[in-house]
Chains A and B, each alone.
Chain A
């Protein structure tokens, strides 16, 4: 497939994993482009970024929901094409989310919440064009930088990760879950409870080591375990729709004339530093387990306000308040691919879905994936460059079209989303049982959310559960039943210490206060 263009990925010794740095990396990148530029992959990338922008624009369905809806669709396409499309949805949503924030003061997805503050004020002052423009340009710059960072960091990290054993993997999974729970809004105890349930749900079905069926309650539909797609569609699709349906919604689109989408020189002068800071901050926060686009956009806003000589302008239409967070969330979306591709550990729910998609295609993400399936990593990296350019074209000249789409009433939209959920969960294994599973989790998800229990820790724990179990049991077998194995290895001990520190912060009032400040900011 790739040899058509004369490129082939390097082996471990010869690749950027092994030695001879820049030349090999460029060679691998060309190999990636030879995959990403194939007509079918170009089309899938375009579909991905288009759907991503659409879900970003439309309030009520986020990237996680859209990706779970489209997971069954990817069965008919190649693994690399599937990942290119799903990744496109993720970073596309980061672009599109700003449109609703700026024009109707309703964030299309969580990472654009903070853009509402100054973006909407700019629109009210007749400056919707520059606000939308700087959001798109900032996103493009940050997204492109993020891909460069992903390319540079993923391979060296994978080289280190090859040396990791089950103890390190077990501890890193614990760390990922702890950070996510720590940063989830609301109580840490709620997050911990959801993670506990997620781990248990992941254990339903056949035992990974002995192959015996467990916790199936006599239901044949559970022998292969709870399906990722029905679970995610239930928690993110059905429950989200029930929450939106419970109260009548009214959207008012600001009637403002979008004169020019190009920011003035003064706008650029004010925005360039926030874009640079947001890009760097978002990228590094994206790499951290549990971090991601949402938290980086909030921290970027707080940072810009702190750096500004006129913090009083924030909240009244300061362009820095749009440029920084929008750059941060796009950069973070690229950064969050690093732990997935190099360690096989997703840093957030969206990455957990990508992990699920790779596993559904029979691939095992981890450090060896870069050498065993280089087409997945380099194809995705190259497609992200292409996708970012596509997004710039989609978001600037076509802004009028997205505004029109915003006018589609929710009562027309939600039956279509529900139909997608129903067919999607059914078609995975052509089994009605999966629809029931989805509806049960949809109902449960609704009540969990009403009682302030976020589904993200549950879904991440569900995806990581088998990895957690396998590595814990292997570690104990290797160490003759001694728990010391987790404390004698530096990476494992360090990860567990950080996890414990974060979880104990739920108990210590002084640290609890600090956490609340972080989340509030």
Chain B
């Protein structure tokens, strides 16, 4: 313990530098930053729309497999929580390898719902008075939702956006 204390009070030296380099290599090999994460972050930040709040994203696994993070189930429920609204979103596979996204806003109110897709442009639908909306025939990829109350001004004063998430 005393050895450790003495060591702790010495200045950093080349051995420490070499050890830290080895630690960095260890994590670069074993748990690297996912390929394309930086590109995806840049995409998600390049939205033209002004927004007022970023929703917090929670994945809701539907069964044990998803909990263990193995063989991800193809139906996934995501919850996006913001101060002014909560969106529950379910992504389901449809025929031909495409996906369908169904969502529900609470409290229910008509909104313009935008879906920016990393490789396929932008889509927009209107959530009805019950707060329901859907996008059909989507390809797998990454997307980002935005919610703007119908009738709200275009300055984004009450727009909620989500982080980019995998479809």
The judgment on whether A and B are partners is no
A positions within 8 Å CB-CB of B: none
